[in-house]
Amino acid sequence: MKSVSVIMNPSAGNNKLKNDIHIIKQKLSQKYESVDIYLTKEPGDGANYVRKIANNVDLIIGAGGDGTIYELINAICGLEKRPAFAIIPGGTCNDFSRAVGMSQKPLEALEQILDEHQEKVDVGYTDHQYFLNFWGIGLITQVSENLESDKKLGRLSYYISTMQTINNAESFHLKLASKERDYDGKAVMVIVGNGPFTGGLQAFFPNCNLQDGLLDVLILKDTSLPTFWSILRSSVASEDLFNKEEIIHFQTNELTIECEPEQKIDCDGERNESTPAHIKILPQHLTVMVGDFSN
């Protein structure tokens, strides 16, 4: 590898990465012939930089929170020739960087990137969006929406928001179809996982494999609110949870989802689309630099 570009959101995580720009450039320059650092100013900048540089760079390092990483991989994954990708985590949850075993300390993550251990990982794809971690509807979307408005309260707000949302949870009619399994009935949540982390928690699919060409699907039927609470509280779900009657869990490489009423989709933390949806896995679509990673 000869040329590397860092695309950084300097405002991510309360400006967490800003002071490291100089040292990041210095360390990378010791190893690579060409090093460029691009700083984003607003949403959309990251994707524009990718489009500008992708043909002439071997490695793109995304430095920022999950919003920045989502934007960058959505620009990279649609390209015919995709540069390798790496993450210097700078946000609150940093789901994908955790999934590939990166240190949550930015400069330690940089050292891991310099070790150049690469793996090809699966990417989820739905209608217009690529995702690395999860796709969800129902409770998951409602919890994160409520959380957005309570963010200042910190971790406690997560629990308060979850409790409030569960108490007011609205069920919907779900029609899910796949080769492995169909479901036609009431639900309060569907999560389709590619990676093991959702919103910083390894709650739903602790053993999710990023290289098996499969998505993990979890349907929570409308009788299972206490179960949802126990999943979140357990932080690392045990397989026992999947044996509960109110949960359906299976794996597939492709599925379609229709809901009545229409449900808002949370895709790696971005909430721009609504059902219906067609979701599939793109096996080993992206080459990433990994840290402490074993599947």
Structure-block tokens of residue 288: 């990433």
Q: Is residue 206 a contact residue for ligand ATP (CB under 6 A)?
A: no
Q: Is residue 13 a contact residue for ligand ATP (CB under 6 A)?
A: yes
Give the count of residues interacting with ligand ATP (CB under 6 A). Answer: 20
Q: How big, in percent rounded to 5, are the helix, strand and coil portions of the chain?
A: 35, 35, 35
Q: How far is the CB of 97 from ligand ATP (least distance, A)?
A: 10
Q: Is residue 12 a contact residue for ligand ATP (CB under 6 A)?
A: yes
Q: In whole angstroms, give the CA distance from residue 164 to residue 168.
A: 6
Instruction: Give 213's contacts (C-beta < 8 A, 6+ positions apart).
Output: 122, 253, 281, 283, 284
Residue nearest to ligand ATP (CB): 65
As a whole number of Å, the CA-based R_g of the chain is: 19
Q: From 27-35, 59-67, 76-84, 281-289, give the range in contact with ligand ATP by CB under 6 A.
A: 59-67
Q: Is residue 126 a contact residue for ligand ATP (CB under 6 A)?
A: no
Residues across the chain: 295
Q: How far is the CB of 165 from ligand ATP (least distance, A)?
A: 19
Per CB under 6 A, contacts with ligand ATP among 30-49 are 40-43, 45-46
Which residues are catalytically annotated? 270
Q: With contact defined as beta carbons under 8 Å apart, do 222 and 186 qualify? A: yes
Q: With contact defined as beta carbons under 8 Å apart, do 188 and 262 qualify? A: no
Q: How far is the CB of 193 from ligand ATP (least distance, A)?
A: 18
List of residues contacting ligand ATP (CB under 6 A): 9-13, 40-43, 45-46, 64-68, 71, 91-93
